[in-house]
Structure 1
């Protein structure tokens, strides 16, 4: 417990106040000119359990004239250009849900130790390594903004050692065409063309729900669908906007069987109306929640089949249809560069990280190299 000693001169007049405390077994003293300052320092020490360094940092924060980090982060968002509204909404969610321990601090007083405590706190509350990395990336960018605005001299995020993803299972699930057919057969008849398009073209759900009749070229020498837009989640709901990335604006070739499955739906759609709706009567768009429910209903029905049931270890998401399409393209001989263009990935690095392990030639070449090396080693 910290104590305050009143200091007097030879005439008995109070000249100062001395605060005394123990930090890690070592006695510390601080002389202050007023009783108010001494009481403030004593209370601050006791609040941080006599940690001198923490108390000094708290005192500097109280005296700082800099804006809070939350204010800086919000200002960083306002300065962003050519960023999707969905991304802006996600960043605001980071501030609301993941800025505990940082947001209220003056931006010029945030230290490396604060970042380490924040990372440990994120892990403790159960956030995945990917979530920690995503939020840390936003914090890093906001700190860079603070440096550019000369609100602080350096970025404390530099060199941060983030938690590794030590999960032992793939996030992506790859369905065979046989498994997809079992699910499609159990789906509502009106909804089947949507599932056939997704597995046949590898589109994102938001891209597919935004399609209208003029996006399709079903009678061209190579039938195709042109992706120029996608449904996005905005601040106040959903709206059609640009695709996820520049390269997501693309033309996707369609197989004859896909064309046959979707032709009637495409030709029946109005010029400016969505081709794929959850039911003939529903006119509320984009219906993503309803599509998710419809997909899971079809999956559960396929799992419940008595003869030839759907045998899967975990329940696939709608986005796993896109992963399954990619795996089928690779199995058919498509290389990763072609696949990246077909899927609309901004970088082939994304394609390689997600699907590189599915490329059979790479595995065969690696096995052959190992065999050659081992044979060379064991030969006399």
Structure 2
């Protein structure tokens, strides 16, 4: 006896039925968040849909993640598993099952891929190859670190070109930003302010990123342009550039922005603030490998103490023999 009571009627609930009920409560979140959940649940239903929640064992979960690993990227497998673990945890909380089949033993492990960082030459090649009315998106991604949905949502009221500050206020289409930290103002240099302001004057839109008629665009327009331009640059060896990887996307310009800050010697807290991460841990997890190796710095710090000791001894010896 475990002392945990499960309603017999509810104990017969299948994964499909629980997904439907769970989504009703989850639907109050941001539309993009709910869409992502639906994608994850589709994979979960494909495997466990008609199965009773109470019938799922840890061994079933491990076998399922192994199947997914043969078909999907590690990051996708991990995200899908985390959604399933969330689903099972909530089922426990709701009294549908006494214990979740998910644990550290069933987790496929969180992948830690190192982001691809474009070179400055590659970034400017992308800028030049983009349609003129979309070029501001490249500037906002590479030199202000904006995410795709943020870049296409920035309007002229969010940009103070005179002071050199961009303050994101929303993301596409008109949704709240990812977090309160995402609202942190972003300082930009005068050259960038001038280029963005010139683009606004040329295309006469309320947004900084528009179509050729000055109308707002969605994130998919920018991503489609990125795929097209990436292929052109990669297929043209005369440019003398390293080919961009097939999976290169707009968000990777944000990695370039991070690399600029780190190469300039900014500390982790400052980089976190400029990237508008909620915590420095997130920044370190993604970009920790980009920071200079501290081993030599540590050796130099200790060596300096020995050097000071040697100087002191030489001074003392000189005084004694004088």
- TM-score between the two structures when normalised by the length of structure 1: 0.69
- Name which of structure 1's ranges 249-258 and 359-368 shifts more when overlaid on structure 2: 359-368
Q: Deviations over 1:153-197 (max 9, x none)?
A: 111112333335789xx5521122222222222333333333223
- SS of aligned partner of 2:167: strand
Q: Deviations over 1:293-315 (max 9, x none)?
A: 32233334444556542223624
1:224 counterpart = 2:165: yes
1:118 counterpart = 2:64: yes
Partner of 1:142: 87
Partner of 1:162: 107
1:342 counterpart = 2:274: yes
Do the aligned partners of 2:203 and 2:210 also contact (CA within 8 Å) in 1?
no
Do the aligned partners of 1:184 and 1:298 also contact (CA within 8 Å) in 2?
no
Do the aligned partners of 1:179 and 1:310 also contact (CA within 8 Å) in 2?
yes
Task: For 1:338 and 1:71, locate their aligned partners in 2 and report how far apart those are by CA, in whole Å.
Answer: 47
Shift of 1:291: 1.7
Task: For 1:183 and 1:278, locate their aligned partners in 2 and report how far apart those are by CA, in whole Å.
Answer: 17
- Larger-gyration structure (1/2): 1
Partner of 1:67: 13
Cα distance change on mapping 1:65 and 1:202 into 2, 3 Å: closer
Partner of 1:3: none
Cα distance change on mapping 1:101 and 1:371 into 2, 3 Å: farther
Q: Which has the higher helix share?
A: 2
Superposed CA RMSD in Å reads 2.9
Alignment length, in residue pairs? 295
Cα distance change on mapping 1:110 and 1:279 into 2, 3 Å: same
- SS of aligned partner of 2:174: strand
Task: For 2:40 and 2:237, locate their aligned partners in 1 and report how far apart those are by CA, in whole Å.
Answer: 45
Cα distance change on mapping 1:269 and 1:367 into 2, 3 Å: farther
Partner of 1:250: 184
- SS of aligned partner of 2:294: helix
Shift of 1:65: 5.2
- SS of aligned partner of 1:133: helix
1:194 counterpart = 2:126: no
Cα distance change on mapping 1:228 and 1:371 into 2, 3 Å: same
Return the match for 1:326 from 248, 252, 258.
258
Matches within 5 A, 1:295-374: 295-303=226-234, 307-312=238-243, 314-315=245-246, 316-360=248-292, 362=294, 364-365=296-297
- Which one has more relative contact order, counting CA pairs under 8 Å at least 6 apart? 2
Cα distance change on mapping 1:101 and 1:366 into 2, 3 Å: farther
Q: Which has the higher strand share?
A: 1
Do the aligned partners of 1:278 and 1:287 also contact (CA within 8 Å) in 2?
no
Cα distance change on mapping 1:74 and 1:370 into 2, 3 Å: farther
Shift of 1:137: 1.4
Cα distance change on mapping 1:330 and 1:68 into 2, 3 Å: same
Task: For 2:191 and 2:296, locate their aligned partners in 1 and report how far apart those are by CA, in whole Å.
Answer: 32
Cα distance change on mapping 1:270 and 1:302 into 2, 3 Å: closer
Shift of 1:357: 1.0
Return the match for 1:278 from 211, 234, 243.
211
Partner of 1:91: 37
> Structure 1 stretches of 5 or more lacking a match?
1-62, 232-238, 373-380
Q: Deviations over 1:339-377 (max 9, x none)?
A: 1221121222221011111112636436758999xxxxx
